[in-house]
Amino acid sequence: MYIGRIMHTDLITVSPTTTLVEAKELLEEKQIDHLLVVNDKKKLVGIVSDRDLKQYWASPATSLSTHELSYLLQKVLVSMIMIKTVVTVPVNTTIERAALVMQQNRISALPVMENGELAGIITSTDVMGVLLQAIGISDDSVRLSIFVKDSIGKLAEVAETLRDAAINIQSLFSWPETQYEGITQMVLRVASQDGNKAIAALAAKGFKVKNQYEKDIRPFLPA
């Protein structure tokens, strides 16, 4: 899936001259965590987060009076604290790529651009929701892990085994086991009522299925 399909397009933006007090009130009113900062030409010039505001907000231990504190905060503008080097992505970025960009840059939101213009924003919560949906996690499914040698045809063999047992695979993904060279872990989900049947069918074909946490996975590795 591409982020252009799930990005938020009802953008809440502020100008660089917005005060911290105004920005904080807007975040609370709209119940969001990020504000996009645009100039008078509607060009993205920065981003400010709820975390940024809290870092610049005065400590409760301050010796200033409430009146003095309010006066000072009214003088601090968004342009003074916003992140000016904004990490952005185009609308045709995949969900998994967006997740990687967020992880690499340690950020939780990405403005989305289209033809050089601000088109939307996507957050880590949005990305997580789509990935969880892709994984197929639900109360009506069970998770099965199979360790296989990284070779051509293993995926087909697993799929054919479950097909022959009349079991539908709700989702499937895999990753290499870096601790064991040449071994890939395949993780699939099937309907809860098919869990035991799937394990039996796979076991009959020589696959060792893990369906719970195991500290030592060596007994489940292929010979």
Pairing of strands 89-90, 44-49: unpaired
Per-residue pLDDT tens for 183-197?
Answer: 999 999 999 999 999
117 or 61: whose pLDDT is higher? Answer: 117
Tell how far CA 187 is from the center of its chain: 19
For 137-155, what is the mean pLDDT? Answer: 90
Which pLDDT tens digit goes with each residue over 62-80? 555 566 666 777 788 999 9
Mean pLDDT of 80-109: 95
Per-residue pLDDT at 44 exceeds 90: yes
pLDDT tops 50 at residue 175: yes
Domains and their CATH numbers in the chain: 3-131 (3.10.580.10), 138-220 (3.30.70.260)
Average pLDDT along the chain: 90
pTM for the structure as a whole: 0.76
When pLDDT is cut at 50, 70 and 90, the band that residue 131 belongs to is confident
Q: What's the rounded Cα separation, in Å, for the pair 146 and 198?
A: 11
Computed on alpha carbons and rounded to an integer, the radius of gyration of the chain in Å comes to: 25
At 34, is the secondary structure helix, strand, or coil? Answer: strand
